[in-house]
A and B are shown apart, each in its own frame.
Chain A
Amino acid sequence: MRVLVIEDYAPIRQAVGQGLAEAGFAVDMARDGEEGLWYATSFNYDVVVLDLMLPKVDGLSLLRQLRAAERTARVLILTAKDALDDRIAGLNQGGDDYLVKPFDLGELLARVRALVRRKYDAKETVVRVADFELDTVRRRVRRRHGEIELTAKEYALLEYLALRKDQVVTRTDIWEHVYDFHSSASSNVVDVYIGYLRRKLEPPGSQRLIQTRRGQGYVFGEQAP
């Protein structure tokens, strides 16, 4: 899942960015409203963590422009203003959630995950397909024959596929949601990682979960009979 952190105060930006990255998110960071708006309107983020008091372009007008550009990213507003009016203004402008500084980093991660689930209409924290189980909170993957060990990147890719189960997912989609801006990887690495995942996820004799749609992309789900 790809997250954009727009926060002008470096200690918070760094900690939130690193915390999200360590939690398996592909993270981009912006230092001011202008930079943030460029990122937010250039890529399809799943979640934007947005500070309201920003230099150059303030948070609320950034939010308006983001919604005007019809970006579907969920927005978690982060601010030191806790007055009710400010919260209402933030939510009215298209914010999806609100966190008042100082906040607990664990809570921020949980809220970002919840926003991701909301974005993909997942009601539960666990995605199930046949005997496959993906726990988005504990970041664990199981099949009938036991727990499957994945690298962070493999997990991130699988989580994205699982949240969009039964839908055709293009390589570009995957690339955009799993890699951050500074990653040098090209969309070709997606195929490589799909290969790794298939090897770990689909041992001989088990049901196949990742189908290839030639010329389109991949579909995650039970094989059509």
Chain B
Amino acid sequence: MTSLQGRLRWATALAASIVLLGAGYVVYAAVRSAVWAEYDRALEAKARTVAADVEQRGAELELELEEYLSAKFSQPGFPEHFQVWRDDDGSVAAKSPSLRTDELPKLHSANGAPSYRFIKLPDGTPGRAATLHFQPVDAYDLDDEDRPAEPSPPVAATLVYAATTKHVDDALAALAWLLLAVAIASVATIIFLQFAVVRLGLRPLDRLAADIERLDAQCLSARLATDVGPRELAPVALKLNDLLGRLEAAFARERAFASDVAHELRTPIAGIRAQLDLALQRDRSADEYRGFLQACSAVCREMQAMIESLLAVARLDADQIQAQRVAVDLDLALRDGWIPFAERAAARKLRLNWDLAEGVTVHVDAGHLRLIIRNLLDNAVSHADEGGSIAVWSRPEAPKVVFQVRNTGSQTAARDAARVFDRLWRHDASRTQTGGHAGLGLSIVRRLLALNGGAIEIETARGGDFTATVTLAADRGQVDERSPPPLAA
């Protein structure tokens, strides 16, 4: 995994190195060119001094060095040399005593301005040569008695003046090394400082990371501190806290659900166990045993229904159920759905009022609609007060279809109307009062309706009516029927 700190560190170090080395090179180049320009000016001055001492006497060129110069050039190992050529025949007219038998290379040069070149001096050290074309002055004054009557034509000459550059080279090399050393030291310092600064700067991030590391599913109640870190991190911590809050709520919901499920299953198991324990307490007649077996069988059926409902909820939660929507006759579906409850309703002396619009088709998954109707009717039959009534009506409200199941004697208070959709919620902590309902029915109904593009609304008042109003999409055939028939028909 790449580290933000590491990447920052390397990027800054690279950038600093490039900038410092570039700057160092520019400084070095500027200094070097200034130094050489200065050197060349000095070289030219020296060359011109020597050239001024070259005279033409008749056809000959002769060098009359001033005394102090002559002394300088006579010193052994003097690191400056010169040599003068005649331009007409190319012969050497003069050279410095420091050259002894050696010669300087003759370089081409335009008239006027001298040209410069790095050369190797006779002793092998590096040097620089200036080449100068010039016209030596006439050795005779106008009133000189030696002056020949017929003056010789003037002879042009070329002077090469060379001097060692060792000290300049050394100085420039020293400068280059110094600049390089400064650059390296600077980069190192920058890397170190940047390391420290970045670490210091990112410390809140590290703390945040450490805080996050301490979180797990067991301690979701912990929250990240949002007031200690820098301003930039506060939104991150806030968002994470938000997420933690939602996670905590979801985990709590799941834990509560799991514990509720355990509780729901424990009660019927306790029933079976108590019945079986009792049956086995002593020898009994066949009729008694039959009674126990029937009781156990009834509890098993109840558990089975509950487990199937739980499974349906789990599958709906996991989006594993898909709706295959087709046209379904709502009138028929409601009447079919009532069949299993007719007997129970009669036993509870419930009156049933049907008011169904005929020929209404809904666009829905047929199996889902069956389940929805079964749950709603089951609830109505179970929850209606004995001797009360159940009303079922439907009517088209293009492009929708609405149907309603209403029962008297609601035990659910109006303020709990929204909670009836919670998994395992019941108006009462008990189970038998609701006919063994686990509190999953309406939760399933709502999810199934959502899956089928429908909706459900609950209205209830304790002691009054409990009304479930379901809205479903009408089948397109239904909608077309209401539009004007085509002319051909």
Contact = CB atoms under 8 A, between A and B. Distances in A.
B295 A11 contact: yes
Nearest to A106: B277
Chain A interface, DSSP helix/strand/loop, else mixed: loop
Contact of A55 (B270, B277, B281, B433): B433
B432 A16 contact: no
Contacts of B270: 9, 12, 80, 101-103
B266 A102 contact: yes
* Dominant secondary structure of chain B at its interface with chain A: helix
B277 to A, nearest CB: 3
A46 interface: no
Contacts of B431: 8-9, 53
A18 B269 CA distance: 18
Given A11-B268, A11-B298, A103 B273 contact: yes
Interface string A68-110: 0000000000001101000000000000000001111110000
Contact of B432 (A10, A15, A19, A22): A10
B430 A32 contact: yes
Nearest to B275: A15
B272 interface: yes
Contact of B271 (A11, A32, A56, A106): A11
Contacts, number: 87
Given A11-B299, A105-B281, A31 B432 contact: yes
Contacts of B263: 80-81
Interface in B104-131: none
A192 B429 CA distance: 46
A56 B427 CA distance: 10
Contact of B433 (A11, A16, A18, A32): A32
B240 interface: no
A4 to B, nearest CB: 17
Interface string A163-187: 0000000000000000000000000
Interface in B254-290: 259, 262-263, 266-275, 277-278, 281-282
Nearest to A16: B274
A15 B269 CA distance: 13
Interface in A18-53: 18-19, 22, 31-32, 53
A210 interface: no
A154 interface: no
Given A9-B431, A55-B430, A19 B273 contact: no
Contacts of A9: 267-268, 270-271, 431-432
Interface size class for chain A?
20 to 34
A53 B430 contact: yes
B428 interface: yes
Given A11-B299, A19-B278, A80-B266, A104 B432 contact: no
A102 B273 contact: yes
Nearest to B288: A18
A104 B278 CA distance: 9
A54 interface: yes
A11 B303 CA distance: 13
A104 B259 CA distance: 22
A14 interface: yes
B260 to A, nearest CB: 10
Contact of B273 (A53, A58, A83, A104): A104
Nearest to A23: B281
Contacts of B296: 11
B278 A101 contact: no
Given A11-B274, A11-B295, A106-B277, 9 more contacts: A10-B271, A11-B268, A11-B299, A22-B282, A53-B429, A54-B429, A55-B429, A58-B429, A101-B269
10 contacts: A8-B432, A8-B433, A11-B298, A14-B275, A15-B277, A19-B278, A55-B430, A80-B263, A105-B274, A105-B281
